[in-house]
Structure 1
Amino acid sequence: MIEPHATKVLVIGYVWPEPRSSAASGHVMQILEVLLQQGWDITFSSPAGFGEQRADLTAMGIHEVPIELNNSSFDAFISELAPDIVLFDQFMMEEQFGWRVEKHCPDALRVLESCDLQSLRHGRHQRLKVRLKGSEDNNDFSDLFAQAAREEFEYMADTDLAKREIASFYRCDLTLMVSEVEIELLVEQFRIARNLLHWCPLMVDLPTGAPAAYEDRAHFLHIGNFRHAPNWDAVLWLKTAIWPLVREQLPGAQLHIYGAYTPPKATALHNPAQGFHVMNWAEDALQVMSSARVCMAPLRFGAGIKGKIVDAMLCGTPNVTTPVGAEAMHGDEAWPGAVTCSAREFANQAVQLHNDKTRWLDAQTHAHTLLARRYQKSVHGPALIQRLVECQRDLANIRRDNFTGSMLRHHQHKSTQYMAQWIEVKNRTHTT
């Protein structure tokens, strides 16, 4: 057994975590908390600037060390730190720093945290764009949501993004996946060995108190970071198609839309006369979710699993979403609300949940059951630690058996190394 104090972890973040702004950052924070509970020594580094709502990692006992892209100062930093595990947050960080990690800390376990399969999300976005241009009926997306895994693969396979992303998965010793659907896509279609993947969904503690009562709640709610393209598209679909249908049935209905980094194009949609309120960023997302009667998540594309829906379940707030929103989130469990494919049905289901207390309470019960069976940190946290320890013990065999990854590292890292060194020299010359 590896002693907890002996394990040193370096996390290389695409951004500094902002758990109140995005589910991706929330998942990173959950992983950090699990590692801290194990007593491991954690350093978090990122080449990104500090965001408005970044978490105070130092207060948690995590060391913060900013790093630079294409700069050999990272080599000295990681050599001195000598981590046992390096966790890359999103594949772009593995592309940038993976070769340096391998060169200076070859025995460190290299782990990739994939908040979602980005090439899948991108492929679905492109299909939606084609669908919106090529069909007169832009409110029923049953055909779009019915894509088989092979069709998803065929749409992704020729894209540069998929080749970069999947190559990064191969180069790492282990990749953390939030979605079982994406694991099956990678294994069955991209032929990635299953032992290189680990299911690690959003991890939460079950609520201990009773949620706010039906009678104490009001209005509909949508929440999501506006920098995330699926959320902006959902707001547009709400505005143009779904919300007018809700107001036909509930003329006094109010929809509150919250999101970090609200752009002018979003605030321009604010229209109190239509009950359509763009509220900007929520100081406490769980508080506003607990006050709402129904959460609306009309996602027409996307990947991974949805933090806003987990938050809704934590608050006992029934939700209406699409097959994309519900994907990989409930297994065989009943959905805590409704899953629909068209604007008309979405509006009908939202109104029914809003008005029918019995159905609303049933959905709330389903939410509690679903959280308990699929998202408990007390289950997934120890499973993650166990998997990391097992991979450390068996690292030589994992790398020997993953010849494709070894081959990709040999070729890609050489080219990345030379490009990074050229950029560094160019930057040094420019500054002098």
Structure 2
Amino acid sequence: MTDPHTTKVLVIGYVWPEPRSSAASGHVMQILDVFLQQSWDVTFSSPASFGEQRADLTALGIREVPIELNNSSFDTFISELKPDIVLFDQFMMEEQFGWRVEKHCPDALRVLESCDLQSLRHARHQRLKERLKANDDNNDFHDLFAPALREEFEHMADTDLAKREVASFYRCDLTLLVSEVEIELLVEQFRIPRHLLHWNPLMVDLPDSAPVPFEARANFIHIGNFRHAPNWDAVLWLKTAIWPLIREQLPAAQLHIYGAYTPPKATALHNPAQGFHIMNWAEDALKVMSAARICLAPLRFGAGIKGKIVDAMLTGTPNVTTPVGAEAMHGEEPWPGAVTRTARDFADQAVQLHNDKALWLQAQANAQTLLASRYQQSLHGPALIQRLLDCQRDLASIRRDNFTGSMLRHHHHKSTQYMAQWIEAKNRLN
């Protein structure tokens, strides 16, 4: 029987976690692990169907409870569970279930986990589409990468997605963000109070063994879930612009591209004669990353921080990326590889790292320093727990001072509640 004083946590997931398929799910699993280390009682629920590679949460001692959208059965479930903390995984879950949580468990701390700022990623994607449509030269994006925060805000502010997402941040008692850049954007441009946000990057344990040496490695690697639009765009840029430039200098070079949910349009790019290999899903991403000499992450848009680059650092694999890939990932620390803005520079830097052992070893050393300074679970896990406990203690004052959030909850929850009840009634008739 659960100790009545044990903190109860309900996590409402957009999907069931697949940590071997996406960094977003990996971050959720890291947060769950932090909760379990506190011996908290954790329940995970989601309205999504089970994915191919979902984690076995029950083996970790986490209760799994499927839930339905627009169904009052959730009201009974949460009323009986009586969680102390409810964590919404992505803002859409807060939109759907926030009003039910507030109605039936008003004293529960409501926390939102944002793996990336989706409205920022979407706005950047739209800019890239416009750029590609207007200019056939897709090799030079020098003026597109990482503009000032004010410019990012101007591209986002009028979008429905930004209004929904930022409103959800206000409605919650605390929002977890992986990117310091996104925190600054929200505070400086969207005027969200800083005390409603908490920096919680990817949290890892430092490697306890030496990485695979330079001489034992071969080939280039790219890895990323194909359902994530920035990853698919990166593969296209590799195929059309970057990889041919690398092969000009290294005619025997091989590129292995791994990703979950590989679509036919990706497998159609497989071309061994060009050294371009679509490898599908990697059962062990760290293992295949350890075998590669260079990780390529040519991200032309995106948000958050990049799991593939953290994996590269964990395995001592130098990487080449763009300002989008490196954003919010290294602070004042030197980059463990190279950050580039054009296809030509990207290819040149990749070849140089591939061939120059001294440069490669320096990049590897930079990765170890960076992991220790910014990504240790032993630092960020306790900081997260302390922040949650502080918020629980000060919950009344947090909510009183967040009048904008209270106002948004009042209007949003009423409209969402009536819509959900209408949909549920309509479903009964059908």
Moved over 4 A (4+): none
Is the 2:9–2:85 Cα contact (8 Å) retained in structure 1?
yes
- Which residue number in structure 1 is paired with residue 222 of structure 2? 222
Counterparts of 2:388 and 2:4, CA distance in 1: 12
Q: Which residue of 1 aligns with 2:148?
A: 148
The equivalent of 1:377 in structure 2 is 377
2:328 maps to 328
Q: Deviations over 1:13-70 (max 9, x none)?
A: 0000000000000000000000000110000000000000000000000000000000
Matches within 5 A, 1:22-61: 22-61=22-61
1:144 match: secondary structure: coil
The C-alpha deviation readout for 1:112-153, integer Å capped at 9, x for no partner, is: 000000000000000000011112421010100141111100
Residue matched to 2:363? 363
The SS at the match of 2:106 is coil
User: What code does the residue aligned with 2:125 have?
Assistant: H
1:125 corresponds in structure 2 to 125
1:6 positional shift:
2.3
Counterpart Cα distance in 1 of 2:246 and 2:296? 11
Distance in 1, matches of 2:320 and 2:296, equals 5
Contact 1:4 1:39 in 2 (8 A): no
Q: What residue identity is the alignment partner of 1:44? A: F
CA shift in 2, pair 1:328/1:4, >3 Å: farther
What's the secondary structure of 2:331's corresponding residue?
coil
- Opposite residue 331 of structure 2, the aligned amino acid is G
* Partner Cα distance (1:23, 1:43) in 2: 21
Q: Which residue of 2 aligns with 1:107?
A: 107
Q: Give the Cα–Cα distance (whole angstroms) in 2 for the partners of residues 288 and 73 of structure 1.
A: 44
For 1:181 and 1:374, locate their aligned partners in 2 and report how far apart those are by CA, in whole Å. 14
Aligned pairs for 1:8-407 (under 5 A) are 8-407=8-407
Q: Write the letter of the residue equivalent to 1:410.
A: H
**Is the Cα contact below 8 Å between 2:94 and 2:168 reproduced in 1?**
yes
Q: Using the alignment, how far apart are the partners of 2:74 and 2:320 within structure 1?
A: 46
Cα-Cα RMSD: 0.8
Name the SS for the 2:143 alignment partner: helix
Check whether the contact 2:13–2:89 (CA below 8 A) recurs between aligned residues.
yes
* SS state at 2:144 partner: helix
Question: What per-residue deviation string (whole Å, max 9, x for no partner) do you get for residues 230-289 of structure 1?
Answer: 000000000000000000000000000000000000000000000000000001000000
Structure 2 CA distance for aligned equivalents of residues 179 and 365 of structure 1: 23
> For 1:145, what is the secondary structure of its paired residue?
coil
| Separation (CA, whole Å) in 1 of partners of 2:299 and 2:204 | 23
**Offset at 1:5?**
4.7
After TM superposition, give the deviation of residue 177 of structure 1 in Å. 0.3
Amino acid at match of 2:379: V
State the AA in 2 paired with 1:40.
W
The answer to whether the Cα contact below 8 Å between 1:4 and 1:38 also exists between their aligned partners in 2 is no
Report the 3-state secondary structure (helix = DSSP H, G, I; strand = E; otherwise coil) of the residue aligned with 2:15.
coil
CA distance in 1, matches of 2:171, 2:353: 46
Distance 1:392 1:53 in 2: 34
CA contact (8 A) 1:16 1:51 kept: yes
- Letter of the structure 1 residue corresponding to residue 49 of structure 2: G
| Inter-partner Cα distance in structure 2 for 1:4 and 1:299 | 48
Contact 2:6 2:39 in 1 (8 A): no
Contact 1:149 1:185 in 2 (8 A): yes
Secondary structure of residue in 2 paired with 1:218: coil
Q: Deviations over 1:316-346 (max 9, x none)?
A: 0000000000000000000000000000000
C-alpha offsets along residues 291-332 of structure 1, whole Å, 9 cap, x if unaligned?
000000000000000000000000000000000000000000
Once residues 118 and 26 of structure 1 are traced to their aligned partners in structure 2, the CA distance between those partners, rounded to angstroms, is: 17
- Distance in 2, Cα, partners of 1:9 & 1:257: 37
Question: Partner letter of residue 121 of structure 2?
Answer: R
CA contact (8 A) 1:5 1:39 kept: no
Give the Cα separation in 1 of the matches to 2:397 and 2:171: 14
Unpaired runs of 5+ residues, structure 2, are none
What is the TM-score with the length of structure 1 in the denominator? 0.98
Report the Cα distance in structure 2 between the residues aligned to 1:148 and 1:374, rounded to whole angstroms: 23
What runs of 5+ residues in structure 1 fail to find an aligned partner? none
**Contact 1:258–1:279 at 8 Å: present in 2 too?**
yes
- In the aligned structure 1, how far is the partner of 2:40 from the partner of 2:380? 17
* Aligned-partner Cα distance in 1 for 2:79–2:277: 52
Give the distance between the partners of 2:287 and 2:146, measured in 1 at CA.
35
Given residue 322 of structure 2, which amino acid in structure 1 is its aligned partner?
T
* Contact 1:13–1:88 under 8 Å retained in 2: yes
**Structure 2 residue matching 1:170: 3-state secondary structure:** helix
Tell me the alpha carbon deviations over residues 349-379 of structure 1, each in whole angstroms, 9 at most, x when there is no partner: 0000000000000000000000000000000
Q: Which amino acid aligns with 1:240?
A: T
Query: Does the CA contact (< 8 Å) of 1:156 and 1:162 recur in 2?
Result: yes
Name the amino acid aligned to 1:29.
Answer: M
Please say if residues 336 and 363 of structure 2, whose CA atoms lie closer than 8 Å, have aligned partners that are also in contact.
yes
Alignment CA distance shift 1:146-1:72 (3 Å): closer
